[in-house]
Amino acid sequence: MHLRNALLIGLLLAATAIHLGGCGPSHEQIMLAKAMSARVDRQPTYVDSAKFLQGYLAKHDKDYVMWAMDYASICMMSGNHDAAKSELLKCFMDIEKRQDTDKEKRAAASNEASKIFKGEPFERAMVCTYLGILHYLTGDYNNARIFFARADMADATTEDNMKDYRHDFRLTHYWLGRTYLKLGDEGNARVAFRKAAQRITRKAEERELKSIRSRQTKARKKRMRLEAESYKRSTQGKNPIPSVVDMSASPALGEAPSTLLDEGDFPNPVVLSANGPEQFLSVDYQKQVNLILVVEVGTGPIKFLIGENQYMDRIIRSPYEERSVMVYLDGQKAGRAHQLLDMFHQADTRGTGEKDRVQATKGVTQSILRRLPYIGYIAAYWDVRADHRYWHLLPGETYVFAAKVKPGSYTVTLQCFDANGYLLPRYRLTRYYIPVRAGEESIYFLHTKPEADNTYFAAE
């Protein structure tokens, strides 16, 4: 098993063992860990994981929205769009309508997680974005427009200290633009695409990217050494494996070959592909495309508790390697997919609101009381923990490839690159017999993961 997969599943098993109690992982804990690792699992069991999470939808009342989000993610990844749409509609209504004053009061005075979970602004925006896309796929463009507009509103609830980042959920603006084109409103489509093109750099983003690039440079050197050793062992050992490919070469994005085929001269099926974001996010270009690939990469942000009494939550970017995507059709380079959503960017710009100020007050007060004689013993039992629930199966980033191609049935290949622009050979993803029919718009969802196309692993 890929090393990162093993570490992730191990951590999930440890967390669920602590959460659910007991020394060793139970069957339920193993199934939960399996479901929560679906984005990186080389052999995910979508059907079993979906059935397992359905049980949680009934059992965990105040956590319903959280489990509904994860269940919908499993359904989206497996292509069960009807089930995803049905559950997300219930989830949306729960967020909008459901209230429990008693739980809200308890949460204000004690553990914040005792209230009904309704998600962070970026999570609610993603619920509406998925619902908008799912309505768009069925040709229900008016409801698609409504949900995309709701997604923009959900993300716009960011507090005043992050007001510059309001209305920056770029993925939903892209789909809103396409919806307006379907409704014959080119003026609003142009406005939506213009918003999709705007990205404001957040504080510490450059420092974070520099750190990621440094880490990936070191990891690449080690990986290339292990890949070379793995290829040597596989081809020069006692039982050579002729089908093994040498993955010790890792060309840069700018050096990506025009074809993945070793031999043969095959025509490129692409009629029109955008040269850059400006052309890509234009009305004239989007009116012509007939193939759209929505590519989800990495894993979403992680939320955990901090402080001596865990009175505050913190969200960090989960570790993943993919930072750009090149698309090939039948082995011929079709063009780059364009990043339209960085989920950690959305999480990191959620702002500081009233609930955070309440939590800070509770945390400081409890810390002071714990240090007082006599009352300190009682104050130690005051639970002031923040809410660490979150949507576990969100993607890290979302890329969109859209082009005009000739009608036909294609082999789609994704080549992923790291933050330094170097190929990640073990993240190559291939899907076969993808149809593009004449006169129709073809939309497909893909998500990258390690070892999707590989049988033999590198030495460790």
Q: Which residues of 201-210 are buried (b: 16+ CB within 10 A; e: fewer)?
A: ebeeeeeeee
pTM of the model: 0.90
Classify residue 330 as left (phi > 0), alpha (psi -120 to 50) or beta.
left
Closest alpha carbon to 4 in 434, 448, 375: 448
Range of the domain at 137: 99-447
Q: Which two tokens stand for residue 262?
A: 């070793």
Q: How many domains in the chain?
A: 1
**18-38 mean pLDDT:** 79
pLDDT tens readout for residues 111-147: 888 889 999 999 999 999 999 999 999 999 999 999 9
Q: What is the pLDDT of residue 278?
A: 95
> Does the structure show a pLDDT above 50 at 375?
yes
> Does the structure show a pLDDT above 80 at 24?
no
CB 317 within 8 A of CB 395: no
**59-82 mean pLDDT:** 92
Domain presence at residue 39: no
Q: Tell me the CA distances in angstroms from 89 to 36, 59, 63, 146, 432, one per residue in order.
A: 22, 19, 16, 13, 32
> Does the structure show a pLDDT above 60 at 5?
no
**426-447 mean pLDDT:** 95
> Does the structure show a pLDDT above 70 at 4?
no
Please report which confidence band the pLDDT of residue 6 belongs to, taking 50, 70 and 90 as the band edges.
very low
- Sign, Cα dihedral of 87, 88, 89, 92: positive
> Does the structure show a pLDDT above 60 at 203?
yes
Domain presence at residue 19: no
Domain presence at residue 155: yes
Domain presence at residue 4: no
Kindly give the pairing relationship between strand 408-417 and strand 397-405.
Answer: unpaired
CA angle 162-120-320, nearest 5°?
90
Kindly report which listed range (26-30, 188-192, 216-220, 380-384) carries the lowest average pLDDT score: 380-384
Q: Which two tokens stand for residue 364?
A: 């400081």
% of residues, the chain, pLDDT over 90: 59
Q: What is the pLDDT of residue 263?
A: 65
> Does the structure show a pLDDT above 90 at 59?
no
pLDDT tens readout for residues 260-319: 887 666 789 999 999 999 999 999 999 999 999 999 999 999 999 998 888 889 999 999
Please report which confidence band the pLDDT of residue 47 belongs to, taking 50, 70 and 90 as the band edges.
very high
Residue 412, H or E segment: strand 408-417
Q: Tell me the CA distances in angstroms from 156 to 40, 165, 254, 303, one per residue in order.
A: 31, 8, 37, 21
Q: How far apart are CA 254 and CA 277, in angstroms?
A: 16
Cα-based torsion angle of the residue sequence 69, 70, 73, 77 in order, rounded to the nearest 10 degrees: -170
Domain presence at residue 371: yes
**329-349 mean pLDDT:** 95
Q: What is the pLDDT of residue 455?
A: 57
> Does the structure show a pLDDT above 80 at 31?
yes
Kindly report which listed range (211-215, 224-228, 326-330) carries the lowest average pLDDT score: 224-228
Q: Tell me the CA distances in angstroms from 141 to 148, 200, 235, 309, 439, one per residue in order.
A: 10, 29, 55, 48, 18
Q: Which residue has the tokens 């396409």?
A: 178
What are the backbone dihedrals phi and psi of residue 183, each rounded to the nearest 5 degrees, phi first?
-90, 5
- Look over the chain and give the mean of its residue pLDDT values, rounded to a whole number: 88
Q: At what angle do helices 186-197 and 170-182 cross, to 10 degrees?
A: 160
